[in-house]
Structures are given as C-alpha cells and as structure tokens.
Structure 1
Amino acid sequence: MKFSEHLAAHLTPEWRKQYIRYEALKDLLYQATENAPQPDDYGEQQISRYFAKFEEKFFQYCEKELSKINTFFYEKEAEAARTFAQLQDELRQVEAPSRPRSMQEKLRRKSSFFFLSEFQDSEQRETFKSNKRKIADLKLAFTEFYLSLVLIQNYQNLNFTGFRKILKKHDKMMQNNKGADFRCTRVERATFYISKQIDDMIVETEMLFTNNLADGDRQRAMNKLRVPPLVAKHTNWTTFFVGLYSGFFILLLCLMASGLIVSYIYSTGDEPYRLIGQNSTDFQNCTELDLSWANLPMKVDCAGHREEWRPALRMYRGMFLLIFIIFLLGINTYGWRKAGVNHVLIFELDPRNNLSHEELLEVALFFGVLWAISVLSFMVCYWLNSWSYVNPLALAVFMLVFLLNPTRTLKYRARFWLIKILSHIIIAPLHPVGFADFWLADQLNSLVTVLLDFEFLICFYTCEVLWVGNSSLSMVFLTGNVSCNTYGYVVRAIVASLPAWFRFAQCVRRYYDSRLAFPHLVNAGKYSTTFFVVVFSSLCAEMKYETRWENPFQYLWLISVFASSCYTLTWDIKMDWGLLEGRPPNRFLREEVIYTEIVYYLAVVEDFILRFAWTIAMSFSLTGVMDQDIAVSIFAGLEVFRRFVWNFFRLENEHLNNCGQFRAVRDISIKPTKSDQNNPVKVERMMDDESKIPLSKHKMSWERRKRIENLCEALHIPDGHLSMQTFKEDQPSTTPQQRSSVTFFLGDEEPSSTGTRQRKKGLNHEDIRYRHLTRTDSEASDQRIDDRDEEESDEEDSL
C-alpha cells in the first residue's frame, strides 16, 4: 500500500484539511522533473538555477504545511489539556466527601452522636444519587477523551511520516541532502513532533480510569478505553452469512414467483376469493382440484371459499418495507465509510461497538429469508384452506420479540440504542433533541405505510378474524367487519399523522432550547402541512358524492398535498442537503462536495420526481390501470428508496459541518457548557440545582443553610463563626488547572492571580526543550510501509 493510500485510510475525516498535502507535494516533485530543461538544450548553470528555484518553492510549501500542522496541533493539545484538567476536577469532586473531615471533627466535639449522625446521613443521601450519575457520565467522558487523544497521537505520527517520506523522495529525485537537512532542522524540532504531552495524558488517563473508575482492574479499564481500528470492521462469518442468506432469499423469491403463476393459472370460477359476508362453513359445493406445484403433488379444495388475500398483502407489505429499509441502511453505511463520512460520530454511536454495513445486511437478509418462508407458507396454507393467516402474525410477533428481547444477545447494543431513540421520539416535546432523534423520525415519515400496515395487522387480528376448528384442521375466516379497511377508522388517520407530529414536536423543542425561529419554527411549519393532507384525505373518503370531483375536500386535498410537496422539496435541497449556495466552484451545489457533481444533479431530479409521485398514483386510481393496493405497495417502496438517497446527502452535509468545527469526538461533559453561559434561564436553573455546581465552589441553598444554622444553634456554636468561609477553610483544594465554562464563586470572592497562574501552567509551550531524536517510535512503526513503498517509488522514478 502506498503511503498516500495509507494516509487516506487512517486520517481523521473531520481533520482532513489539516493533514500534510502529501499528494500535492509529490506532484510538485514529478512536475519539476518532467519540466526540467534538458542538458542538450540548456547549460548547466541554467539547469542549476531551475532546480534552485524549484527547491525554494518546494521548501516554502513544506514550511507552510509545517506551520499549518503546528498551529492545529497546538490548538488540539491545548484543548485536550483543558478537557483533562476539567475531567480531573470532576473526578475529584465525585470522590470528595460531602463535607470536609476537619469540619466534621469540629462538630463532633460539640455535638451529641444523635444530631451528628442525622446530619451526616442527610448529606450522604443527597450526594449518593448525584455521584452515581456522575460516575457513569465520567466513564463515558473519559472514554471519549481517550479516543480524542489517540486521534491526536495518530495525527502526529501520520504527519511526521508524511514529511519523512516526501523529503526522502525529494533527496532521491534531486540527488542531494536538502530534504534530510530540512527534516532535522525544521520537522524534528516542530512542536507537533517533539511534544510528548499527548503521550503523557494518555498514560495518565489510563491510570486514572484504572484506579478510580475500574477498581484497579487494568484489563477491564483498557477494554473500555481501547480504540477500535480506523478501518471498517470485517469478519469472515458475517460475510459468509450475508452470502448464505442472499442465496436462500433469491431461491425463495423464485419459488414465490412460481407459486403466484400457478395460483393465477389454476384459479377457478369468476370468484377467485371468497366474498366478505359469505357463509364460511358452507362446503357442500366444494370441488377437488389435483395439481403439481414445485414438483410436489397436492390436493386443493374449496377454491371458491378461500379467504380474502388483500389483508395478507397489507401485512406482508409493511414487514417487507421494514426489512427493505434496513437493507438500504446497510448500503448507506457502506457508502458513508467509502466517502469518509463519519456516521459513527454523527449518530453518537459507541465507536468501539457498532454495527458495520455487513452486519446490517446480515440482519436484513436474515429477516428477508424469514419473510419469504412465511409468504410461501401462507400461499401453501391458502391453497389447502388451512391456517393461512397465522403466518403473518407469527412473523410479526417474531420481529417484535427480536427487537424487545431483554437479554444481551442478538445485536443487543444496536437494539437498545434503537429503543432508546424511539423513546426519545415518542416523548419529543419533553426531551432534548439530538441528530439521531430527528434523523430516525425523518425515516418514520417515509414509513407511514408501514405504520398503517402494522395498525391494520393489530386491528385485523382483533376485529376481523374468526378462529374456528374443522376436524383436524384449524381455519381462519373473515368476520365481515370491514372497519380496518377504510379511512373512516379514526385510528388510521391518527397513525398516519404520528410521524409528522413527532418531527413537529421536535422542531418546537429545538426552538425552545435555542430560541431560533429559523430554521426550527419554519421546519415545524413544513411538517404541519402533513396534518392538512391527512385531514382532507380522511374527509374526502368519508364524504360520499356521486363523483370524486363533486367533493370539495378533494380540491382541498390537492392544494394541501401540492403545497406540502413543494415545501418539502425545497427544504430537502436547500436545508437538508445544503445545496444551491451559489458560490464557486460549484455554483448550484455547495462550496465543498464529497461526491461527483453529476450525482447531486441526479439526486435533485430523483427527489423532485418522487416528491410528486402522488400525481402518478392519482392518475392510476382515476384510470383504473392498477389495483389500488398494488399501487400503494409500489409507491411506498419508491418512498423508502427516496429516503435512502436522501440519507447520503443529509449525513454528508452534517459531516461537513463537523469538519468546519474540527469535531471528531462526541461532546460529553457533566459541567455547564459555554452555550449555557449565554442563556440566563439555564444559568439560573443551574444555580438553583446544587448538583450542577462544583463542590469546590458550592453555594448552599437557603434550606441547607437553615438546617445547619439550627444544628449549630443546638450545638452552641456562636453565630459569628458560621459563615461560608468556615466551610471553605478546611476544604481540600479541588481547583482545576482550567476553569470550567461557567464558574461559581462564594459570595464576593474573586479568583486569585496565583490560581490563574496555576491554571495556565501546563498550557505553556515556551519551556519545551528541543531535542534531536535520531529514530522515533513512529519511524519504527512506519518502516514497513517505507520498505513496501520503496519498489513502487523506484518504478515511478523510472517512468
């Protein structure tokens, strides 16, 4: 593997622009040799001037890259130092007792055992719950911080290796030692190379986590901290099962197709299925039919009395669409990895344990096989007049049990993550909204047909099924109740509005948190148009007229669905995908793109067509070209495909936002953030909430102060001796090296200059002593890449 490929595979995507431009420097070298004057046409002095001018340009480029890398590394190192100091302070606060030991000793001398034990018990109860939550948050914060340190360390190694290799290539092509001199005098004395603060913080983090959060068990601590490989996970067994399930699924689809053909050919009479309301137990006119299907002879009877097949179509359609979107999500994940879109960070997944694209495909194909087996079983039972409608119910129950299985098996981390996000969506107005929350709610907006089909499944087995026994065969018949089939059933209208309501509530909540009318309230308006579409569609179905066009609600539905389509299309392209910025070089796209330009234009056309696909469905309904249930199935599948394409560009836009902020790990902190500092409402809430205030600067509430005053009065402590300073004098110092985003002081106390100097100490890079290292660990680890690349470099030079 060439180093350029190694660099592209192992760099942090959000920091891509901050790495050494290895390919650009290599192109400069090859252009210089290709455009060099020939000795036959020019003199030696002219050739020397040419190469001297080139080397001046080359090393200026290297100096610029070195300065860029140093600056970025300095910022990240200082940010890591501040975060580490904050985590240390938070860890000390969790470990610190609720009151200083010396103060307890003072009270013990002047109090009875009864009053003192009551005081201590109340304090311990108040801090126990908050400490338990903080410990869990600290574990997560330390793991994310450790990951950030490893990314910075990887940034150091990759950039130094890049300089070493390009300068070595320079010396080889220019036949001098100027590259080696630049490396010794500039690169090996650069801050990003000689600074060992990141290595020290890695070691200290491992020690702190092991001793304080893992009960001294280093193996357990490293299992939590260990960073996964930067390349995609790949297991042979997963690949094997993907291929196995794919083969089974294709085979079962062929059997299903042959069964449908046979069913169509051997349908008898003018009544291919039993009419609703017909006597289900009348078997006097049954005729036997012998046929061979799939090389298996069977005897089918009562062809005119079989159950209606449309309910099965609706139920199997919903489950298939759910499997289909999981399969497409696996393709999404593969595409994001290939394009360098960090979906793990965007969804805030655990980077040490998450589903790869192969695992998603495996799950989808596994359920696809079960779905196909269930459909085949339904077809066989349908022809045998057996217990056919048990099959879709059994499949739906199995899928639900798979999702809600409480044991730590069957992709339990992914299942628990999905259940957690779904719970956030359901209580949307009451819970802060993250990207994964509104992304999954957007997926639900493309799965309205799935929700309606599952609602129909519940209604069908509750209201429209009659379970009877017939000798040795148990049979299922329709009762004649058709309430589940029409939009007059109010629950269906509510279910159809749920996904839009979830997103509407999330937008309102985001406005409440940020106070930004744009884009949140404008986005809420987009989802509110769906309510009008559902209401007018329901009223249009309820109000019966001689013709469709005499119904006034038909026109209101057309207006609302057209407005909704225009609104959503504009939002998709402009806001969700970030296109149409009008800036060069991609005037109709955006300033920075990941995919090729033609892909964006095709995606815009596809989104336009599928956003207005309802016009095609309406024309099918008016002309009677296609059965309505079959048309709904086709267009529901197309909507899922539209969402699949939408996912690529939505996450690309979010990824580029993270790149602009150089955000490579999750932002996890149990202290107030900087955004809270500018929000007086949140600051007031945090000041009232004692668990949000660091113990080292804790301001007592009025109730707690009153309890202590009463206790001290009972213990005969003079009033003048009771003060905030009394509790602060004997408290162990827990002042962090870096002040948190929001700092609370006791009374009129101000931070001392000594404390300020102490906090700045450790961030000072002036006292770093430069030292020349002849060989580093990174050189040793990259030697193999260097050796493998040597032969390729020789071939390039010969060319």
Structure 2
Amino acid sequence: MKFGKTLDNLMVPEWRHQYMNYNELKQLIRNAVSNAPSGARPSNDSVIGYYRDFEELFFTTCRGELTKVNDFFAHKQAEAHRKLATLNYQLDRRRAQQDPRGSSISRGSASSRTRQTEDKRKMPSIKKLRLAMSEFYLSLIMLQNYQTLNMTAFRKICKKYDKNLKSEAGFSWYERFVLKSTFAMTLQLDRMITDTEDLYTEYLANGDRSKAMAKLRVPPLGHRTPPVHVFSAGLFLGLFLVGAVMCIISYFSLNLSPELRYTFVSLFRGPISGVTFGFCLAINIKVYENVGVNHVLIFEVERRSALGAMGSLEIASFFGYMSTLSILLYLLHKEFFIADPNFIPLVQLAVVVVLFVNPVPILFYSARMWLLTVMGRVLLSPFFFVNFADFWVADQWTSLVVSIVDHYYLVRFYVRYFLDRSDAFEFEPDYAVAVIKCLPAWFRFAQSLRRFRDSESKSTDYLINALKYFLSIGEVIFATIQMQTITQYTELFESPWTWAYITICIVSSIYSVFWDLLMDFGLFRVWKGENLFLRDNLVYPRWLYYFVIVENTLLRFVWILEFVLVYQDVLAPYNGKSLICFSEIVRRFFWNFLRLENEHLYNCGQFRATRDIFITRLDPQEERFLQSVMDKTEDLARERRDKKYF
C-alpha cells in the first residue's frame, strides 16, 4: 500500500486537517515534473529558472505545513502536560488522605493538610482515576503516533522531491528544519508516557507493572481484526444467506393457510426485524470506519475493546442464521417430525436472552455490558445525566416500536399457550401495547427535559425536541382511542378520532422531518454554491445527502401509504405493520450515517479525539500550587535537555 493511503488510514479522524498534507505535496511534485520545459532545444536558463521557482514554491508550502504541525503538536503537548500534572496531583492527594507522611502534597503544601477533611467528600474514586489515566495514556499514544506519521511524511516527501527532481535540496531541508522542529523533539512526550506508566503502576496497580501495562496497552496503528472473527463472520454470513434463500422458497412454495401465515408473521416478524436492524448497524459501523467517523469516541466506548464492523457482522450473521433455522424448522416441522412447532420461537428467544445477559466474560463481554449499562440509563432517563449514547439508543428504540411490540406479543402468546387459553393465537393489541408504544417516545421526552435541566445555557432546542416526542405519544393515544371506539361508527371516517389521529400524525411527521434535516443532520446551512442545501463540511459523497433528504421525508410519511392500502383491503393489517416496521428500520439506517457525522464534525472542531473524564474541580489555591509544580517540572526538563544536546 502506498504511503499516502496508509497515512489516510492511520490518521486520527478528529485531527485529519492538522496532519501534513502529503498527497497535495506529492501532486505538486508530479505536476512540476510533467510541466517541466520540453522541446527540441529548451534553453538552459529557462530550465534552471523553472526548477528554481518550483523549489521556492515547494519548500514554502512545506514550511507552511511544518508550521501547522508544530503549532498543533505544541498545543496538544502543553494540554497533555497540564493534564498529567492534574492527574498526578489528584493521585498524590488521594495518597495524602491515606498516608499523609508519604505524600508530596503534604510536604509541599502545608495548607493542604488542613483541607484533607474537606476534600474527602469530593475525592475521586479509584475506578474513575483508572479510567482517566487509561484515557490520558491513550491520548499520549495518539499524539506520539501523530508525531511519527508526520515525521515519516516529511521524510518521504523530501525523498520523493530529490528522486524526481534529481536534487539533494529535499534531504538538506529535512535535516535543517524538520529534525530541529518542535514536534520532532521526542524527549518531553516520551517522558510523559513513562511518567504515566509509573504513576499508574505505583498508585493504581499496587506496584505491579505488568498489570498496569495490561490496562494501559494500546493496539498498534493499523491493528487488524483477529482472523478468528473474520472467519466466524464469513461462516455465519454464508450460512445465513443460504438459509434465507431456503426460507423464502419454502414460504412461497408451501401451501400455507391464511391463518398459518398470520401466525407465522406474528411469531417471527420481531426476530426478523431485529436481525435486519443488526445488519444495518454492521453496515453503519463499516462505513464509519472507512470514512473516518470516530463512532468509538462518539459512543464513549473503551477503544481497546471496541466492537468493530467485523464483530458486528459476526453477531448479526449468527443471530440471522439462528433465525433462518427457526423459520425452516417451523415451516417444515412435519418433515423434521416436530409435533408442536410453536415452541421453536421460544427456544430462539431464550438463547438470545441467555447469550445477551450472560455474566461470563466471553462473547463480546465488554460490548454487552456497555449496551446493558446504556439501556439501564435509558430506562431511568430522568434520573441520569444524558450522554450521546443514551439518547442515540433511545432513538433507535423509537424506530423499533413494531419489533418491540412483536416481542411482547410473543411473550403474551406463550403465557396464554401454557395456560391453554382459547385466545392464545389472537395477536390483537391491548392496553399494554399502547403503553409499550409510548415508552420509547417517553424515554426521549424525559431525556430532552433532563438535558434542558442540566444545560448551562437552558437552550430551548431541548424543549422543542421534547415536543416532537410528546406528539409521538399523542399519536399512540389517539390511535388507541380510535381503535376502541371504531365499533360505534358505521364508517371509518365518521369517527372524529380518526380525523384527530390523522391530524396529529401529519403535524408530527412534518415536525420530525424539519428536526431531522435541520438539527440532527445539520443541513440547509448553505444556500448557494456546489453544496446547495447542505453544509460546508461533508464526509460522504454529495449525492448521499440529497438522497437522504428525499428518503427521510418520504419514509416519515409512509404511514399514509399503510393507512390507504389497509383501508382499501390491498394489504392485511399485519402486513401493513410489516411495511411500517421495515420502512422505519431503513430510515433509521440512513439517519445513523448523517447523525453521527454531524457529531463527528463537532468533535473535529474541538480536536477532541479521546473521552473527557472529569475528576473534580480544583479551587484557586490548588490551581496556583499546580502551576508552581508545572513550572518546576519545565525548568528541570529544560536543564536535562540542555545537558543532553549541548
């Protein structure tokens, strides 16, 4: 692989514009060679003048790139220096509380001893300190990789210049400017990395360096997915595709009665929609990885154990294959001598639940625990600070309402079936269905109010967003009332509740479309030029944004199509719900692309590439003490550097 492509693949996405622009300089060299004076007798003066002008242009551009890299590196290194001093202070403060004689704070700041009792209530936990140190160490390694990649890029572009222009000016410039630049000095960054390892070993790993390094270790650049996961994903995907084809052939070739088809859809639509959604998420993650959208940071997942596209595909393919087996066994139960096929979906559901809540640290344990934690925070939305992952998961639930209700029907079916009730095979909605349909919208409504409460600016955007989900709850309420009162009228449109339901659905759909396009996607910021109706910064191809604008708008109103088709008896009601279910999954699939891109661009603007772990706020006296410690450290480092280089 060529270095330019390697550089693009290994860049920190949020720092992409702060790297040396290798491809631009390489293209500059190519253009210079291709446009060089040619002909039968080019004059010597014109050739010399051409290459002299290009050399000035090339190295002026290089100096601009070097200044950009130096400034960014110095900024991030100073930021890291302060962060390390703060963490060191917090660790030493905790040691001072446990053993005052062994702490440098107790020796360096007498006043801190009088505040030990006051500070006890705001002392950060060991778990939070470990997380903060781990994330800080990751940021140092990322800065070190930034340093290495830019050094390599400057060296290679200077070598390419000398090779193509038959010169030695590139190597000379590299030695004169790059090797003596700020970002090429590795001493301070290396020392911070070593200090972080020592601090973690001493304070958080009880002196066990091997244990500390196991917690701090960062995967190398270009780390590939383990072969076992690639093999498993390919195996289960192949089995799923074969099984899916067999299921489709069996469903349409068998002479199933309408009652059996209705039962089949009612039992298996929930699992099938869940598998479809899983494959959509796997594709989402793969595209994020290809275009550089840092979903790991956005979801605040531990980078060392993050679930990548291949792991997501492996999970979706496994459950997809399991679903196809269940469907085939159900449809062909007589050929497999299964007396009662109605237990087959129950076995599938039990396997999924057991694998998901399994407490043993196997089978993507960290990903499962992360999802369980987020789901717990969503269920208790009003009582927790809302992170991006919390409201993202709740948003996914709003698109899976039909699937969630189907799983409720599945549980209700087995309760009635085991009780041998005559209505076991009736999959009609009850009041519990109305409550379940309201829950995802309620979670988002509560999260929006909580975000308004927690925000310092008290932005009305959160209240406007809450109104969107309030309208969704209104849709469910009016639909339930209309369904319960429809027998009082001879015609559907004679019921005022039908018109109330249609009205609130229209208002909610229009409201949601505007919110999606303006707020979630951040579009319609540019009203002229090549990015018309979009925004200045785009990650995906331009056509995708226009497609999503149309697709999202149409699928927000797909309920009208379902309403008309069911009313005209073109579709059975349960097939109409299937249309709504899979249309909403497709809409959410494209929504995920632009919503995470919008969040990613915000992180890029802040140069935020790692999680911000808040420890505790320092008072002014502690700030002054910390600054004095940093000044002494800088003086000592300068003395060591002077001794080393002079």
TM-score normalised by the chain length of structure 2: 0.91
1:665 deviates by: 0.5
Q: Give the one of 438, 442, 461 matched to 1:519.
A: 461
- Asked whether the equivalents of residues 441 and 503 of structure 1 are also in contact (C-alpha less than 8 Å), the reply is yes
Q: Which moved more, 1:647-656 or 1:513-522?
A: 513-522
Task: Return the offset for 1:411.
Answer: 1.7
Distance 1:165 1:26 in 2: 10
> How far apart are the structure 2 equivalents of 1:170 and 1:249?
52
Residues 381 and 447, structure 2, Cα contact 8 Å, conserved in 1: yes
Contact 1:168 1:180 in 2 (8 A): yes
Amino acid at match of 1:95: R
Instruction: Tell me the equivalent position of 1:34.
Output: 34
In structure 2, the residue matched to 1:590 is 535
Counterpart amino acid of 1:20?
M
- Name the residue aligned to 1:490: 431
Give CA-to-partner distance per residue, 1:713-748, whole Å, 9 cap, x none. xxxxxxxxxxxxxxxxxxxxxxxxxxxxx41549xx
Structure 2 match to 1:207: 198
Question: Contact conserved, 1:195 with 1:768, CA < 8 A, in 2?
Answer: no
State the partner residue of 2:230.
239
Cα RMSD (Å) = 2.7
Aligned with 1:181 (options 158, 164, 172): 172
Residues 667-686 of structure 1: pairs in structure 2 closer than 5 A? 667-672=612-617
2:363 match: secondary structure? coil
Find the aligned partners of 2:268 and 2:306 in 1 and give their Cα distance. 29
Q: Contact 2:326 / 2:348 at 8 angstroms: preserved in 1?
A: yes
Q: Say whether the 8 Å CA contact 2:275–2:319 is kept in structure 1.
A: yes
The Cα of 1:358 is off from its aligned counterpart by: 1.5
- 2:494 is matched with 550
1:760 aligns with 2:631: yes
- SS of 2:20's partner is coil
Contact kept, 8 Å, 2:266 with 2:427, in 1: the verdict is: no
Distance in 2 between residues matched to 1:670 and 1:500, nearest whole Å? 33
Alignment-derived partner of residue 351 in structure 2: 398
Query: Does residue 1:426 correspond to 2:379, yes or no?
Result: yes
Structure-to-structure mapping, 1:415-564, within 5 angstroms: 415-462=368-415, 464-465=416-417, 479-480=422-423, 485-487=427-429, 489-514=430-455, 515-544=457-486, 545-564=489-508
Structure-1 separation of matches of 2:141 and 2:499: 61
Cα gap change, 1:21/1:767 in structure 2, threshold over 3 Å: closer, same or farther? farther
Number of matched pairs: 626
Q: Which residue of 2 aligns with 1:140?
A: 131
Q: Aligned with 1:465: secondary structure? A: helix
> Do the aligned partners of residues 263 and 27 (structure 1) sit closer, same or farther apart at CA in structure 2, a change above 3 Å counting?
closer
Structure 1 counterpart of 2:313, from 361, 374, 379: 361
Distance 1:155 1:254, change over 3 A: closer
**How far, CA to CA, are the matches of 2:159 and 2:100 in structure 1?**
61
Shift of 1:768: 9.1
- 1:576–1:159 Cα change, 3 Å: same
| Equivalent pair of 2:414/2:424 in contact (CA under 8 Å) | no
| Whole-Å separation in 1 of the counterparts to 2:222 and 2:583 | 33
Give the corresponding residue for 2:109: none
| 2:269 pairs with one of 299, 305, 317 | 317
Is the contact between residue 312 and residue 392 of structure 1 (CA under 8 Å) also seen in structure 2? no
Amino acid at match of 2:170: G
Establish whether residue 150 from structure 1 lines up as the match of residue 141 from structure 2: yes
SS of alignment partner, residue 594 of structure 2: helix
The answer for the alignment partner of 1:303 in structure 2 is: none
SS of 1:588's equivalent? Answer: coil
Distance 1:11 1:447, change over 3 A: same
SS in 2 for 1:390: helix
Instruction: Write the deviation string for residues 615-662 of structure 1: whole angstroms up to 9, x where unpaired.
Output: 111111111112221221133112111111111111111111111100
Alignment partners' CA distance in 1, 2:215 and 2:338: 56
In the other structure, the counterpart of 1:776 is none
The answer to whether the Cα contact below 8 Å between 1:194 and 1:770 also exists between their aligned partners in 2 is no
The CA distance in 2 between the partners of 1:415 and 1:756, in whole Å, is 42
Q: Is the 8 A contact 1:81 1:763 kept in 2?
A: no
Residue 751 of structure 1, CA deviation: 4.9
Residue pairs, 1:652-667, within 5 angstroms: 652-667=597-612
Q: Which amino acid aligns with 2:392?
A: W
SS of 1:198's partner is helix
- Structure 1 distance, partners of 2:276, 2:220, is 29
CA distance in 1, matches of 2:630, 2:530: 45
AA partner of residue 493 (structure 1) = A
After superposition, what is the alpha-carbon deviation per residue over 1:646-699, rounded to whole angstroms, capped at 9, x for unaligned?
111111111111111000101013113xxxxxxxxxxxxxxxxxxxxxxxxxxx
Cα deviations across residues 598-623 of structure 1 (Å, max 9, x unaligned)?
Answer: 11111111111211111111111111
Matched, 1:622 2:567: yes
Report the Cα distance in structure 2 between the residues aligned to 1:44 and 1:770, rounded to whole angstroms: 48
C-alpha contact (below 8 Å) 1:9/1:230 kept by paired residues: no
**Are the structure 2 counterparts of residues 459 and 146 from structure 1 closer, same or farther at C-alpha, using a change threshold of 3 Å?**
same
Aligned equivalents of 1:582 and 1:763: distance in 2?
Answer: 47
Deviation of the 1:177 alpha carbon:
2.1
1:559-591 Cα deviation digits (max 9, x unpaired)? 111111111111111111111111655232110
Identity %: 37
Could you say which structure has the larger radius of gyration? 1
Q: Is the aligned partner of 1:604 residue 2:475?
A: no
* Shift, 1:258, TM fit: 4.1
For the residues of structure 1 that align with 2:371 and 2:493, how far apart are their CA atoms? 44
- TM superposition shift of 1:516: 2.5
Amino acid at match of 2:440: P
Indicate if the aligned counterparts of 1:312 and 1:389 stay in contact, CA closer than 8 A.
Answer: no
Show structure 2 runs of 5+ residues with no match: 103-115
Asked whether the equivalents of residues 131 and 613 of structure 2 are also in contact (C-alpha less than 8 Å), the reply is yes
Higher helix share: 2
Give the aligned residue type for 2:187. Answer: K
- Map of 1:633 onto structure 2: 578
The letter for the 1-side match of 2:601 is: L
Cα distance in 1 between the residues matched to 2:234 and 2:224: 17
Q: 2:69: which partner in 1?
A: 69
What displacement does 1:763 show?
Answer: 5.3
Letter in 2 for 1:182: W
For 1:589 and 1:536, the matched residues in 2 are separated by 36
**1:86 and 1:499 mapped to 2: Cα distance?**
41
Equivalent-residue separation in structure 2 for 1:13 and 1:408 (angstroms): 31
Q: Is the 8 A contact 1:493 1:534 kept in 2?
A: yes
Deviation at 1:98, TM superposition (A): 5.4
Contact 1:500 1:528 (8 Å CA) reproduced? yes
Unpaired runs of 5+ residues, structure 1, are 103-122, 274-307, 468-476, 673-741, 774-799
Q: Partners in 2 of 1:665 and 1:346 — Cα distance?
A: 9
Identify if the C-alpha distance between structure 1 residues 385 and 413 changes in structure 2 by more than 3 Å, giving closer, same or farther. closer
1:57 maps to 2:57: yes
Aligned AA (1:379)? L
Letter aligned with residue 374 of structure 1? S
